[in-house]
Amino acid sequence: MTNPDYWKDSLNYLTKTDKALGNIISQFKDYSISSRGEAYETLLRSIVGQQISIQAASSVWNKIVELVKTIEPSKVLLTSRENLKLCGLSKQKIQYIYNISEHFIANNIENNAYWEGRNYLSIYEELITIKGIGPWTAEMFGMFHLLEKDIFPLKDVGIIRAMNQLYNNGKKLEIDRIIEISDTWRPYRSVACWFLWRSIDSEEVLYWDSKAITIKSPISSVPTTLSPAAEISLVL
């Protein structure tokens, strides 16, 4: 994995712009946001991870992989609801996974080239037309798969909690104040959010989801806590 081309500039900018955030950046400067996997798998993982712990999501996903073998839209659609339910998926999540699979087939999305060169807003608007993918999931896809540098998921519970701790001694910030602070991070709000997540969960943040969300950092928070993806599922 390589750092996004904007990573170094973003760290310099955010450190100079926001002293409090700069202190967090200095603690985790050796890590960076990363994109892994295919878009289809990334979106399916986001559905699996909704409203459950990271451990539970991992267990369900591993069962799906064992069942389907190759994670492709056509093969997933050929897998019965009964068998997917045995993997630990709810009826609603199974339908969402089918919806995503049908969208990929209908639009001939075979690889990541489909997303390349497109404006993020157009991708966001396309994704939220798929029942099962809400604003938050589309934002996480932009941040962790497309590596868009300036996304701010305003309704993410983890981000709000981290900002309350960092800027208001753990007390609730007003929404106007949250927006005011985040605007100072432009055009690197995605990067700022990544470090905010790290400040409350020192495991390295990835979109496993929103997932989410972790890889090989040496420190981990309590493993049964909900990931950002699990804490707030905006498929509404």
Assigned token pair, 155 = 């309704």
Gap between the Cα atoms of 9 and 187, Å rounded: 11
pLDDT digits (tens, 9 = 90+) for 123-167: 999 999 999 999 989 998 999 899 999 999 998 888 999 999 999
Domains 7-33+150-220 and 39-135 share a fold: no
The answer to whether the beta carbons of residues 115 and 123 sit under 8 Å apart is yes
Q: Which fold has domain 39-135?
A: Endonuclease III; domain 1 (1.10.340)
Assigned token pair, 134 = 């809400």
Where do we find the tokens 């009964």? 82
Per-residue model confidence (pLDDT) at position 168: 97
The residue ranges of every structural domain in the chain are: 7-33+150-220, 39-135
The answer to whether the beta carbons of residues 51 and 233 sit under 8 Å apart is yes
Task: Determine the straight-line distance between the first and last CA of the chain, rounded to whole angstroms.
Answer: 33
Q: What percent of the chain has pLDDT over 70?
A: 84
Mean pLDDT of the 168-178 span:
97
Radius of gyration of the CA atoms of the chain, in A: 18
pLDDT digits (tens, 9 = 90+) for 175-209: 999 999 999 999 999 999 999 998 987 554 444 44
Gap between the Cα atoms of 185 and 192, Å rounded: 7
Phi/psi for 215 (5° steps) reads -145, -155
Per-residue model confidence (pLDDT) at position 29: 86
Question: Does position 121 have pLDDT exceeding 60, yes or no?
Answer: yes
Average pLDDT, the chain: 85
CATH number of the 7-33+150-220 domain: 1.10.1670.40
